[in-house]
Amino acid sequence: MKHGLAGVGVLITRPSGQSGHLATLIKASGGEPILFPAIRIEPLPEVATAALDNLQQFGLLIFVSPNAVRVAMPRILKHGGLPAQASVAGVGPGTAAELKKSGARNIISPREGFDSEALIRELSSLPLAGSRALVIRGEGGRELLGETLRSRGAEVDYLECYRRVRPDRAMEELLPLWRSGALKACIATSSTIVMNLFEMAGEAGRPWLLGTPFFVSHPRVAATAFSRGAERVFVAGNGDEALVTGLITWFARLRPLHAAS
């Protein structure tokens, strides 16, 4: 539907530089992308780590996000590249796509689903007893992958290469868009983004944010939005196309109601 988002301003909250394709899809559907990064990806200092110095000892490397690939792969390439004998896995299609850009091949990625749980299912047939696995992630990530791999007999190390930072920015600049009715939807693709948004909203922005429909990529993100008081949350699925399809579906259902009134 070429103009399915006509008149719809959509708040895009991804880190700077990571919203181009999504914004293009929204524009192509007649909508107006409003860029408001609610998270900043800050690479951690490139300190000497045993993992990078001894990459050849790992039989499995797991990248938990596209950001993990973007930050870690240049460092891995400086240390000789991906081990030839290692299996390489990515959590979700976005991570797999970033790995392909970096030259990785034969990437293990979930055929169904796009989270750690889905990747664990995909790895279920891989012999792990006695092997070593490296989980490449941001600072303070979930422990599910590591715990599951250890339960299957693998020795697990972590390479934490970035941190998630809340931008020093407030929402006052968005208030005119809300008041005029131009801002009608918010896309949030992580729980951290949702939490940051509500911290950035302030007293003035919070009522507007609560009343704005959230379009999210995962039920876990939806749960975070509901826990903060969001009134309407739509789990559209992973990937830019899925998010835009969710937006179009939502606003197509609303238009007949407005027309009838």
Q: How far apart are CA 138 and CA 208, in angstroms?
A: 31
Element containing residue 244 per DSSP (H, E): helix 240-260
pLDDT in tens, the chain (261 residues): 467 899 999 999 999 999 999 999 999 999 999 999 999 999 998 766 789 999 999 999 999 999 999 999 999 999 999 999 999 999 988 999 999 999 999 999 998 888 899 999 999 989 999 999 999 999 988 899 999 999 999 999 999 999 999 999 989 999 999 999 999 999 999 999 999 999 999 999 999 999 999 999 999 999 999 999 999 999 998 889 999 999 999 998 876 544 444
User: Which one, of 80, 78, 75, 83, lies nearest residue 105 by Cα?
Assistant: 83
For the chain, domains (ranges, CATH) are 9-39+169-260 (3.40.50.10090), 42-165 (3.40.50.10090)
Question: Both tokens of residue 240?
Answer: 């830019």
